[in-house]
Amino acid sequence: MKVLSEHCANNDTQIIQMRLDKMATFCYMVGDKSSKTCALIDPAFDTKEILNKVNSTGFTVTHLINTHNHADHTAGNASIISKTGAALYIHKLDAQKLTSIANRTFSRMIGGSKSPKPQTLLEDNDTINIGNTKLKVLHTPGHTPGGICLYMEGNVFTGDTLFVGAVGRTDLRGGSMRKLLKSVHEKIYTLPKETRVWPGHDYGGMPYSTVENEMKTNPFTRRDL
């Protein structure tokens, strides 16, 4: 695990971007400074190192949020929850696949374990409160039926919906390029242009981008092609 960025989103919130050793997956800590509580987004691997980093900052993990059900984002759920008691959140359309036999099997294959059932099933426009920090749920189907992004002023965590210079794959069961591009254009590209884009994998030339930059340069989402 390697910390790539530590960003003070505002006076109340701290973001830590962690690149996990397997599959170039990004995990994020979103910490509320007033309550010293935080959420972890997609802590799939390197859970000991993730928690060591969180503990070093003085935050307590109270929320675990999956942007979608795939094992490369969820294989660390059980480990994190067993050590923190954090509540697990995922969109309602991905909840069943999260605990499916196929997902449990793949999680074990990549060094994790089966995920517990979520405590909270999310829907579009829900708000997740982490102390005084609020994350708005943007339902962005396309990569999976229940894929989500998480928005707070100035920042959006895009999971496998939008990468730096690319988009998530749509050839797996439940995927749809038409739905994915609709999600990107209607849910992400309508955000303020200066919004920082935090992707789910380190697949681009830089670890994060902005809405404006992706609108101008991402070859997969340009409408003039």
User: For 48-95, what is each residue's pLDDT tens digit?
Assistant: 999 999 999 999 999 999 999 999 999 999 999 999 999 999 999 999
User: For 114-137, what is each residue's pLDDT tens digit?
Assistant: 889 999 999 999 999 999 999 999
Q: What is the CATH number of the domain that holds 205?
A: 3.60.15.10
Expressed as residue numbers, the domain containing 70 is: 2-217
User: For 136-179, what is each residue's pLDDT tens digit?
Assistant: 999 999 999 999 999 999 999 999 999 999 999 999 888 999 99
Structure pTM?
0.95
Domain assignment present for 225: no
User: For 8-48, what is each residue's pLDDT tens digit?
Assistant: 888 799 999 999 988 999 999 999 999 999 999 999 999 99
% pLDDT > 70, the chain: 97
Domain assignment present for 223: no
Domain assignment present for 209: yes
Identify each DSSP E strand in the chain by its residue range: 2-8, 13-19, 26-32, 37-41, 60-65, 87-91, 120-122, 127-130, 133-139, 148-152, 155-159, 162-163, 166-167, 196-199, 209-210
Domain assignment present for 15: yes
Domain assignment present for 222: no
Q: Which residues contact 85 (CB under 8 A, 6 or more apart)?
A: none
Domain assignment present for 159: yes
Domain assignment present for 84: yes
Instruction: Taking residues 105-114, report their average pLDDT.
Output: 74
